[in-house]
Amino acid sequence: MSTPFTDLVGCRLPLQLAAMGGVGTTDLAAAVAEAGGLGMVRDRAFIPREGVCGTNFLIPFVPPHDQVAQVAAEAGIVEFFYGDPDASLVDVVHAEDALAGWQVGSADEARAAADSGCDYVVAQGTEAGGHVRGTQHLDEVLSEVLEAVDVPVVAAGGVASAERFADVMRRGADAVRVGTRFLACHESGAHPQYVAALVAAQSGDETVLTEWFGDGWENAPHRVLKHALEAAEQSGWRKPNPPTLETERDPSDMAMYAGSAVGEITRVEPAAAAVADLLRLL
């Protein structure tokens, strides 16, 4: 299943795991990579040795350049998100013979990322779970980004079924980035109540874009399960951390990030099974 993206990064399948802080474990990244996709971990988390895996930095919390360089030398693929494309960061990554990617929310931001030297871009639609950069639905932003840049384009946001995966690929994406569905996998680090809530959700109507969970990261919209937001508004809990396996408090009012395709998630399964199902129509 060769595409410009798979040829670039060296994975077998045009699927990228979303890097998800706390809940996106090294085991999950390794499982996705072993199944043929591109595994991703957040920041300076341990990078699996098997398969093709990269790492992700959030620009509001990006460390000094020397630390980015250390991670780039180990990871080989470094992606940035939630900040204006920065050529100096791309140069740091390239100096370590690593690939640089940028997740964007608009064609203008994609163009700036390509002009900064990025090897690929991720076009994110507002359907995405977690923090959302732009204001357009995926089909719209993907079309505009494909017109704007010549580097490989990964589509992200609201993809949790084989049908939607195939549709996005037909629209010209070189790969698809998936997050929420992998939270309901055995290798996920999500709290059991969080996983149960994802499986129980019937549709995207049970998610909402909000800025409520902004303690330490203000003015950054994010999509979460609506009932978690309602509980947080009652309790006053505003921290952006999702409930993980290590969470000791009641997780019901914590940031349960979820994309608009959450209704497609009906079971807990191994990550390899999710990969196989997502690509079964290609």
Q: Give the dihedral of Cα atoms 161, 172, 124, 20; nearest 10 deg.
A: 50
d(CA 16, CA 100): 14
Q: Which residue reads 């807990």 in tokens?
A: 268
**DSSP structure class, residue 80:** E
Give me the numbers of helices (H) and strands (E) for the chain, helices first please: 11, 11
Sorting pLDDT into bands at 50, 70 and 90, what band is 266? very high
Q: What is the arithmetic mean of pLDDT over 27-39? A: 97
Q: Examine the pLDDT at 44 and tell me if it is beyond 80.
A: no
How far apart are the C-alpha atoms of 185 and 233, rounded to whole Å? Answer: 29
State the DSSP code for 158: S
Same domain, 122 and 212: no
Query: What pLDDT does residue 235 have?
Result: 98
Place of tokens 């019937």: 202
C-alpha span between 101 and 20 (Å, rounded): 16
**147, 114: one domain:** yes
Average the pLDDT over 127-140 and give the result. 97
For 48-83, the pLDDT digits (tens) are 877 899 999 999 999 999 999 999 999 999 999 999
- pLDDT tens by residue, 244-253: 999 999 999 9
What confidence score (pLDDT) does residue 45 get? Answer: 74
254 and 174 share one domain: no
> Which residues fall within 8 angstroms of residue 261, CB to CB, at 6 or more apart?
127, 158, 159, 160, 161, 164, 180, 181, 204
Determine which of 36-50, 107-121, 174-188 has the lowest per-residue pLDDT on average: 36-50
Residues 6+ apart with CB under 8 A from 49: none
- Name the helix (H) or strand (E) containing 228: helix 226-235
Residues 76 and 126 grouped into a single domain:
yes
Q: Are residues 62 and 29 in the same domain?
A: yes
Contacts of 147 (CB under 8 A, 6+ apart): 107
Q: Answer yes or no: do 118 and 196 share one domain.
A: no
- CATH at 40: 3.20.20.70
User: pLDDT digits over 4-26, tens only?
Assistant: 999 999 999 999 999 999 999 99
* 51 phi and psi angles, rounded to 5 deg: 75, -175
Q: Please indicate, yes or no, whether residues 177 and 227 belong to a single structural domain of this protein.
A: no
**Residue pLDDT, tens place only, 87-112:** 999 999 999 999 999 999 999 999 99
Whether 273 and 256 map to the same domain: the answer is no
pLDDT at 6: 98
- 147 and 198, same domain (yes or no): no
- Given this model, what pLDDT does residue 51 score? 84
144 φ, ψ to 5°?
Answer: -70, -40
Question: Residues 223, 272: one domain?
Answer: no
What CA–CA distance (Å, rounded) separates 276 from 115? Answer: 35
Residue numbers of the domain that contains 111: 4-184+267-278
Query: Is the sign of the CA dihedral 170, 278, 272, 207 positive or negative?
Result: positive
Q: What is the mean pLDDT of residues 258-266?
A: 98
Among 247, 264, 243, 274, which Cα is nearest to 20's?
243
Average pLDDT of every residue of the chain: 97
pLDDT for position 48: 82
Do 44 and 65 fall into the same domain?
A: yes
Q: What pLDDT shows up at residue 98?
A: 97
Same domain, 11 and 83: yes
Q: Are strands 222-225 and 207-210 parallel, antiparallel or unpaired?
A: antiparallel
How wide is the angle at C-alpha 223 spanned by C-alphas 266 and 52, nearest 5°? Answer: 70
Report the number of distinct structural domains present in the chain. Answer: 2
Which pLDDT score, from 0 to 100, does residue 1 have? 87
Residue range 231-241: average pLDDT?
A: 98
CA angle at residue 201 from 195 to 204, to 5 degrees? 120
For tokens 């999710």, the residue is 274
Q: Which residue has the higher pLDDT, 10 or 45?
A: 10
pLDDT at 112: 98
Q: What is the mean pLDDT of residues 40-45?
A: 86
The average pLDDT across 275-280 equals 98
